[in-house]
A and B are shown apart, each in its own frame.
Chain A
């Protein structure tokens, strides 16, 4: 196999390389990667308590990431693809982390935040994480292989270093030690390597217009889910401080009657009890951490 360096290849009029450059730019500019919540982590002095909520919402994603790769590995159409996936999997299983897998590293961070979620496998997966995982499971299982590759490949490897790059200064400001935030710093370094391997792999697969479209679609689906996820985490952080947080109306103003109805709803103890019951029911229907990890293995 002839290995061509990326710099060398960039000088050739290669449509797949041009596609990758475009895709990378689009990913790095995506609202999911540049979510205001992440920028706020960098600029606002969030407390450890805020990061506890952040971590508890994020943890499930860390626990199940390898299951996406494993599913794709099984479906990979060629040994090249299998090779790339296997390389990343080895890293995710703990290579370069003194044998600690990423969930274990994240557990250290949670412990530093004052959370014991990593020791509570029967805790329910929070809603934002569950939606994210469900969508990714669907992508790697039901969508064509290249869509799945686009989601877990560029959709993660090119996005994560940039996202964590924003979070790390905030974590340091909140007083976490380098050891406690190793999970995050490792991903900025490690995913740059993954991204480089990935670029080689994608250049091979993205040879046709159709293949390129599938890879892009996968990446964008992943980032849309990512955007939803960060919005959910932000809501959780706000709600932790203000459980009855104001309901902002956003770009579409509520109508006059909508406003009245919402207040009437909030003002009725029965309706609020109903809302709480529905939320409890939804929570009951969500899997526990243990279950969602087991589902991934199956």
Chain B
């Protein structure tokens, strides 16, 4: 069979979006799924972020796939649907499959006549079984997949059926490593700021924390699994690119594993520059280990600093503190690691609160500050709390750059304040770069050309991003969600304080556990629905 896996564009080409300039990583989820079936099927991966608009239709006509699969985060949900809609039009006989975070957490949104199968949770094993079944039954045109765990499909009477959840693969080493040759044609085009050409790998999945604005822990059901150090270094060695982005949701979480990785890198003499995402409290608490990681090529850590106030951090269930953020930043600077910090402003902020954040960032001297707006992303605990108060339900505006809840300041003023962040904190970036150049002159020399390229691109992007009217234009005509219809104001929104009580609940597995999860997660819905079907 021929299998086409499509990475959708996040937005219509040309709109606001970080993928344009800041960070474009490989479609690792698709290469992982493609690798799982490539022994038995011919697989192609099409990254629409790096293609012309007509590439999808042309590929469908030329390749004539039997299966078309795509993946979706929240902001690109519409684009993923568009991919499958085009696929159904051009190749009506092909099976259309969608997976990824958004379809897992919000499957009902993909209950569409041109979507045959929704894959929920981790995709590799499910996709292998799905392809086998489809290969056997496609001659008969049978698109029902009863018993294929981790899927929802459409029965012959049009009803959406939900199969039982697939258990996560306990040992990540048992899964084949993503075959990057599937995206060979895009090699050299992925980047993080000016750092390129960049490869992307993963070394763990999940996060053990339960921040209420994040859906990662919900997707992975609050479990974290790790690749062994030798498998990680195998992957790193196989990358021809000088820079590697380790796409883990939270790399800095396990001291023993980080130590083992350093041991393995040293033992095998692998010299690569690599970047990752991780928590600041880990960096603050393990300065020696951070030094060792830096000595073994770690050059950038992207962390959620989130806020300059412990109250705000507690409200987000972040379980960290602003002092930890300061300490982590100091440790990283000292060891020549670029610290990329994500900060969240809130729709109910005043001018003083904005000013306080800028001051905090300047005092940190963080290398790459990224400012976002606290957004109740679908699938998160925050979303469950605020879904009836949202000003918009347009997923394109859930890009962390638009206020989807009512603002305290007039919207224009709010965006003006928000846009001012980068100008206000410019000195922080400059000082951090100077400091890191002194510590790591070789690395900085290596990314110099890339940084010129990055600044050239960013400059053009900034003209849009620094103009508060861009945000207003983006949302014109789209603020028609339940909160807007009800005429809610910022005073109607009660933000969490972090003092909410934990609840005891019985999860699908049957054992009573105590979790800081106030409400159900997607896996509970799947269990309930599949049980109900068995009952009927």
Contact = CB atoms under 8 A, between A and B. Distances in A.
Interface in A37-52: 37, 39-40, 42-45, 47-50
Interface stretch (B50-58, B133-141, B232-240, B268-276): B50-58
B86 interface: yes
A67 interface: no
A251 B50 contact: yes
B208 interface: no
A43 B110 CA distance: 10
A131 B474 CA distance: 28
A251 B52 contact: yes
A168 to B, nearest CB: 13
Contacts of A13: none
Interface string A227-266: 1000100110111111011111011010010011011001
B53 A36 contact: yes
Given A34-B90, A39-B86, A49 B14 contact: no
Contacts, number: 142
Given A30-B57, A259-B457, A266-B460, A238 B52 contact: no
Contacts of B476: 47, 49, 241
What secondary structure prevails in chain A residues at the interface with B? helix
A159 to B, nearest CB: 12
Contacts of A235: 14
Interface in B31-62: 50-58, 60-61
A88 to B, nearest CB: 25
B25 interface: no
Given A40-B79, A263-B457, A246 B85 contact: no
B474 A241 contact: yes
A103 interface: no
Interface in A62-89: none
A246 B61 contact: no
Interface residues of A, number: 46
A28 interface: yes
A253 B191 CA distance: 13
Interface string A263-289: 100110000000000000000000000
A248 B57 contact: no
Interface stretch (B304-312, B377-385, B448-456): B448-456
Nearest to B13: A248
B514 interface: no
B13 A42 contact: no
Given A42-B85, A43-B81, A31 B12 contact: no
Classify chain B: how many residues form its interface, as a range. 35 or more
Contacts of B327: none
Interface in B428-480: 449, 452-453, 456-457, 459-461, 463-464, 470, 473-474, 476-478
Given A42-B82, A47-B478, A251-B50, A244 B463 contact: yes
A147 interface: no
B82 A246 contact: no
Given A28-B89, A29-B90, A262-B460, A242 B53 contact: no
B15 A48 contact: no
Interface in B67-120: 78-79, 81-83, 85-86, 89-91
B403 interface: no
A17 interface: no
Contacts of B426: none
A234 B9 CA distance: 14
A43 B61 contact: no
Nearest to A175: B480
A266 to B, nearest CB: 5
Contact of B12 (A234, A244, A251, A262): A234
Contacts of B50: 250-251, 253
Nearest to B459: A263
A43 B464 contact: no
A242 B14 contact: yes
Interface of B: 12-17, 20-21, 50-58, 60-61, 78-79, 81-83, 85-86, 89-91, 189, 393-394, 396, 449, 452-453, 456-457, 459-461, 463-464, 470, 473-474, 476-478
Given A43-B78, A45-B394, 7 more contacts: A29-B91, A36-B54, A49-B477, A234-B12, A238-B12, A256-B452, A263-B457
6 contacts: A29-B60, A29-B89, A166-B85, A238-B12, A256-B452, A263-B457
